[in-house]
Structure 1
């Protein structure tokens, strides 16, 4: 199980190899939300998402003789790129299983980082079985996308940065909204804030119909999604919370939030208009919750983690079109 010592050790291994992303704001977003909104820009991270943190943490911790054989991961794209980048920088092979319906940009970017990409059908194929078979046959080390202690520790380094940045911004009590799939980032951030900023409460943000984490926290036990595909928020569509992540989420997180796809697209467009950021759908869910669920949030300030910016051009153009829709705020 990950803890604060593992998170701090991951920070030391990462060193200056990844970016310390900024915490920024925009007055127009404050006005829409009805409170101060601070945004952690992981869309500006190396590989375009926070997943670079967990990838580096896990790859760097493998014994060198074993690491030399290579690593394997499965991902819709952001974990894929994070692991592929870390493997390339450590000079080892990487094999990545990706769903056939993953955004083309994510598949292409993963290959561009030197990884071998193996495509699968997320509705029909057993991803875990495919990964286990390849790992055993080729002698690869499997790095899971969220239910891995070293990955959780790497994602938790974001929380260490956030605690320092929020304090400098004068925010010591606030909800921290995190886009959540299996819970690796959310649980890592929650552990870091528990230690360094206990006044900041983590809350999950998910798309409607894929809010398994919110439902699991409400029930006090793991709940599954009814389906595994069909959302524009591919980066955070997972079957259920992880066995490692859920106990942390259940202990430390407040009630979860869920938003519509239309709200996600509007949030992407508003981030472009007021921050000039490119945020992918799965990375904009927390911002959508901050902007369009104000009554469900506590306090004069809210912190949002914009988790990634890897989006296909056609989908991004669709998001920007919402700026022209009648009644679009700001």
Structure 2
């Protein structure tokens, strides 16, 4: 990776709001970023929105010129016309997947400094024969990362998930000692990447009242507490297990920097309740930076010109912040 490399922004599902929020985010011309997707789709959306923008095809990020009022697109899929908006379909599902894979390859090659992904639709990818529950699993498989975790962040709280896209029943069994340790370590690393010198990590319990001393379940005693103790032995400032219904209140008051949640909804509901436009998804454990807005494809408003690009713009800002921190860390290592 070079410091001058731009960000890659994947187009997302062409039938959702992804292309629209990408166009809106890039319209001011201040973002040093290249779109991975379809120039046909981006051109049609720009036309529908009435934006004063030129959509230009580039063979790769290194050809981008970042001229004012211009969106530069690396063609990662062949689409001859705009797919139907607001409808699940295989064309859009395949195109969204192709853009992600191409962006990962560019990030691994160092031609982009990081990836910001617009929303995809899992059902649409399934229609194309692509069986992945979400971005995180695709990124992990194609990047070669051994263990990844989702960090959801906004101005008030940050949370990392022990388990991600799985049923609650399976999550209980997957939240074993190794999964706890991986999440706590990644939460620590993620906090440092965001500029927190010594992140304070709060680990939420799995059961109500964090098990109430074994009355409501013993996972806290058998699994979670030993993992916290092991993490502390490694020098990580981890504590808990804390009751899941109050730990985020404490984090908002400034007591903790990152909360480790045991399952998807335990972590995402508090973040999303504070506003989808403020939330950012950061994938920890990858060999490159990746962020995304904390919302979906919103098929119900696709093509209407009313989609809010704030969360994507925030995701871009977070990506730049993480890339800058990563670059400084690499420079320090070279000096040493």
Which TM-score applies when normalising by structure 1?
Answer: 0.30
Which TM-score applies when normalising by structure 2?
Answer: 0.30
